[in-house]
Amino acid sequence: MLDPGLRSGTTLDPETVQTIRQLVRPQPEELGWQAIPWLTSIPEAVERATREHKPVFLWAMNGNPLALT
Amino acid sequence: MITERFVPVAEDVTALQQSEDEQGRFFRHVAVQGHMKGRSRPGVSHQGLYAFVADGTSLASANPLDAERTLTLLEEALRRWAEYEERPELARTQAPGGLSSRDLGYPPAGGAVLRVTARDLPRAADAPIQKDQVRYTRYWNFDHVWLLPEDVKDLVPESLAVGAERQVDRRLLERIARFHLRDIVRGEPQVWGPGSVRRFDLVARVTGRDGNLVNLEITGDVLLREHVAFRDSHTPIDWEFDNELDAAIGGEASWNEVKGHLERFDIVVAGQRTGAHRYNVRTRDPGPAPIGFAFELAGDEPWERTPPHVLRAWKRPDEDEVPVATTVTGEPYYGKR
């Protein structure tokens, strides 16, 4: 059980570090979007869409949608 | 469906919605045909999903927050794409010219890229939380830290004998603290201001060896504090907060002394966060409440190569000088070198 009051001065032993890592890191069901082969620039997408004769699907967010948004 | 029927691309819309280069104009040409019609101005967020033809013809767009509406958008786009294909006179064979990539740079050669994930940690059973804030407790977010070769070496004790220690240099800690220990769980906070790093101690200690690998224990503490005042992003409310992060640090790393690089870097920063920023959706849940950050080495997938969120430009003060990576505040990302 993680101490909800932890702050500076708290010793984080290896077991606690592991518990925190497991709580913070994303679970597999939260990473479904990573199965999509995202390109990272519109010019590259437009060029490929022309070549492969497909429409472009753009995910545009303030901050990079593939990271901090 | 996205993978097979579309060419998927993800971009930060902040520059696209306001830049006057060809890429910005092309994006806005697409956007105003869809849900940004009549609303496209430089200060207005153009966030959303856009399906379009390579020549810039919009097929569908919206800013949905759920899977069902996203699926509806995709189906509408494919329906219009089929109509588009039936009318070949509408199709251009060439993409618009003048588009060029907007790369902000690449991870520094010989350095390292760390992925930092942030998420709320479990609160005390009796800790108050407003009902409309509960849905946010599952939110998480991540960013990247770019380390120069000298930054990486600064994490490793000069002596690799068991028991040897190194206090990590303040220059590196300031960068990590101000630019990467931000409460990003729900959105985009400002960077911590100059002078906000009240304390940051980080010690790497050699605990053992395994062939060429030197195992390190990393421990420390961090205290960040600053007063902020801002206008609410949605309502005419002026907020003031004494923002704070008061946290402990622990974890392990492995240094390959032959190859001269990190093979593992697993540390956590965990403690109490207090306060809010205009764009991090914390005004109704300012804490203090527990938060955790997990740092680890990033891989080579596209989503692990995006620049640090604060890195917005490469400034070339003089053509003869090496470009300087600058943050959203105009500061050099790597500090004064």
Residue given tokens 């520059």 in the structure block: B15
Q: What are the residues facing B265 on neighbouring strands? A: B253
Task: Write out the two tokens for B186.
Answer: 């729900």
User: Residues of B with CB below 8 A from A30's CB?
Assistant: 140
State whether B10 and A8 contact (CB < 8 Å): no
Answer whether residue B87 shows pLDDT above 80. Answer: no
User: Alpha-carbon distance A34 to B210, whole Å?
Assistant: 34
User: At A1, is the pLDDT very low, low, confident or very high (cuts 50, 70, 90)?
Assistant: confident
**The dihedral of CA B40, B42, B46, B52: what is its sign?**
positive
Q: Which residue among B59, B247, B302 sits closest to A40, beta carbon to beta carbon?
A: B302
pLDDT tens digits, A15-51: 999 999 999 999 999 998 899 999 988 999 999 998 9
- Contact residues on chain A for B182, CB-CB shorter than 8 A: none
Cβ–Cβ below 8 Å for A11 and B248: yes
The model's pTM is 0.89
Identify the pLDDT of residue B326.
79
Which residues of chain B make contact with A10, given a CB cutoff of 8 A? 248, 270-271
CB-based contact B47 A60, cutoff 8 Å: yes
Residues paired with B216 in a beta bridge: B206, B253
Q: What is the 3-state secondary structure (H, E, C) of B288-307?
A: CEEEEEEEEECCCCHHHCCC
B200 or B102, which is more confident: B200
pLDDT band at B195 (very low <50, low <70, confident <90, very high): very high
Asked if B191 is an interface residue toward chain A (Cβ–Cβ < 8 A), one would say no
pLDDT value at B90 more than 90: no
Q: What is the DSSP letter of B131?
A: G
Instruction: Report residue B92's pLDDT band, with 50, 70 and 90 as the boundaries.
Output: low
Confidence of residue B5 (pLDDT cuts 50, 70, 90): very high
Amino acid B14: pLDDT? 84
**Contact call for residues B168 and B177 (beta carbons, < 8 A):** no
Asked if pLDDT for residue B95 goes beyond 60, the answer is: no
ipTM: 0.91
- pLDDT class of B89 with cuts at 50, 70, 90: low
Would you state the structure tokens that stand for residue B187, as one six-digit string? 């959105």
Query: pLDDT, tens digit, for every residue of B268-327?
Result: 999 999 999 999 999 999 999 999 999 999 998 888 888 898 887 665 555 455 556 778
State yes or no: pLDDT of B104 exceeds 60. no
Name residue B297's amino acid.
L
- Dihedral of alpha carbons B206, B209, B214, B218, sign: negative
Contact: B188, A63; criterion CB under 8 Å: yes
- Please name the residue that has the structure tokens 């050699």: B206
CA distance B292 to A21: 8
The share of chain B scoring above pLDDT 70, in percent, equals 90
Check whether B63 has a pLDDT greater than 90.
yes
Residue B240 pairs in a beta bridge with B229
First to last CA, chain B: 48
Give mean pLDDT, residues B201-230.
Answer: 97
Across chain B, what does the average pLDDT equal?
Answer: 89
Q: Are residues B54 and A46, on separate chains, in Cβ contact within 8 Å?
A: yes
| Cβ contact, residue pair B141, A68, below 8 Å | yes
Mean pLDDT of B144-159: 94
Q: How many CA atoms lie within 13 A of B51 on its CB side?
A: 24
User: What pLDDT does residue B227 have?
Assistant: 98
pLDDT in tens, B16-42: 888 888 888 999 999 999 898 888 887
Task: For residue A27, count CB atoms less than 10 angstroms from its CB and return exposed for 0-12, middle for 13-18, buried for 19 or more.
Answer: exposed
